[in-house]
Amino acid sequence: MKMFVYGLREYDERVYFDKFAALYGIEFDSVSSKPTLKNVDLAKGYDAINILTAPVDKAMIDAYYDLGVRCIMTRTIGYDHIDYNYAREKGMGVLNITYSPATVADYTVMMILLGIRKLKYIRQRAALQDYTLEGKLACELGSLTVGIVGTGRIGACVARELTGFGCRMLAYDPFPHSELSEILTYTDMDTLLRESDVITLHAPATESNFHILDADAFARMKPGSGLVNCARGPLVDSDAMIDAIESGQLGFACLDTIEDEYGIYYYNRMGRPLTNRQLAILNSYPNVIVTPHMAFYTREAVSDMVENSILGILQYFREQ
């Protein structure tokens, strides 16, 4: 079995690729750059490619297919950067991975706390040696209602972690999990928007979930409530979110992912104008925290991502 790895990070992934490729008897080569039409030829003679979040469109899928590649593995949970339907029509496997939900759940709880305690504003003022209290009054998480949109592995883990804070929890999911009913209340989306002090998103970026938070949704939210998105950027209409922040309808936002982040996140853009205007605007607000899609980023998760990507490819070809 031969696998070509794109976007391999020497500083953290290399040790795991070397370890697990040897353990499971898979041959691989790699490059640090993302897959593009200009470098598809690197995968000639390989059975599968292993990528991160770089877009793979129809033209690239055709090119890989002609080279003999029959499987596209993304070592991420999300796979919306790949033209999944077209790849399947071509007879190519499209696979994603899993890792411990605790890594994103921990980060989500941290973001909720950073938002409600106004930490960005506190740090900005402290950097100017303003140590006064005015404008920094916060509240306790246990006094709030948290709305969880999506109760899959990560959303469920968030709910379990939040039980320790004593907050009321509402949840919306088309497929509710009965075992969570002891710690949260499932409800409709309208009720969740209306009653939640903080909303945290844990839904996949499907066509039906595109802009699940749009201008209408923000208008229905409790005035001054907060938003945490450690899931997928397309779930939120960025322009509508900016309007809601500027009007005060949205009290804060803590965002680990935004729309149109490809080509920005995971690259060093220091000293260069951002090509995503919404990101530039959001970064300027004292009540908005933006991090570069790294809620997953722990030693445990990186190891899982590499190992499970290899295991997934091996399992796919065993089943063919």
| Catalytic machinery residues | 232, 261, 293
Distance CA 67, CA 289 (A): 43
Distance CA 30, CA 97 (A): 19
Closest residue by Cα to residue 234 from 260, 201, 202: 260
- Per the CB < 8 A criterion, the answer to whether 41 and 67 are in contact is yes
Sheet arrangement for strand 168-172: 185-186, 168-172, 145-149, 198-201, 225-229, 250-255, 288-290
Reported in sequence order, the residue ranges of the chain that DSSP labels E, i.e. its strands, are 2-6, 27-31, 48-51, 71-74, 93-95, 145-149, 168-172, 185-186, 198-201, 225-229, 250-255, 288-290
Closest residue by Cα to residue 62 from 45, 33, 83, 81: 83
